[in-house]
Amino acid sequence: MLLALLGISYDEFERYATLWLPVVFMGVLVFLIWRTMKLVPRTKPQQITPRSKSAITWDDIAGVEETKEELREVVDFLSDPKRFKQLGAKVPKGILLHGPPGTGKTLLAKAVAHESGAQFFSQSASAFVEMFAGLGAARIRRLFAKARENPPAIIFIDELDAVGAERGSDISGERDQTLNQLLVEMDGFDARDQVIVMAASNMLEKLDRALLRPGRFDRQVFVPPPDMRGRERILRVHSRGKPLAQDVDLDRVARHTAGLTGADLAN
> Which residues in this chain contact ligand ADP in the complex, by CB under 6 A?
61-64, 101-107, 200, 234, 237, 262-263, 266
Q: Are 179 and 163 in contact (CB under 8 A)?
A: yes
Of 92 and 104, CB closest to ligand ADP: 104
Q: How far is the CB of 90 from ligand ADP (least distance, A)?
A: 27
Q: What pairing do the DSSP bridges indicate for beta strands 119-124 and 46-48?
A: antiparallel
Minimum distance from CB of 234 to ligand ADP (Å)? 4
Choice between 57 and 172, CB closer to ligand ADP: 57
Question: What's the CA gap between 79 and 117, in Å, rounded?
Answer: 7
Nearer to ligand ADP, 97 or 129 (CB): 97
Q: Which is nearer to ligand ADP, 129 or 234 (CB)?
A: 234
Q: By the 8 A CB rule, do 234 and 253 touch?
A: no
CB of 108 to ligand ADP, least distance (A): 7
CB 126 within 8 A of CB 76: no
d(CA 221, CA 212): 12
Report, in Å, the least distance between residue 209 CB and ligand ADP: 23
Distance CA 31, CA 260 (A): 54
- 137 vs 165, which CB is nearer to ligand ADP? 165
The CB-of-202 to ligand ADP minimum distance in angstroms stands at: 8
Q: Which is nearer to ligand ADP, 176 or 232 (CB)?
A: 232
> CA angle, corner 228, sides to 224 and 232, nearest 5?
105
Q: Concatenated DSSP letters for 99-160?
A: SSTTSSHHHHHHHHHHHHT-EEEEEEGGGG--SSTTHHHHHHHHHHHHHHHSSSEEEEEEST
Min separation Cβ 109 and ligand ADP, Å: 8
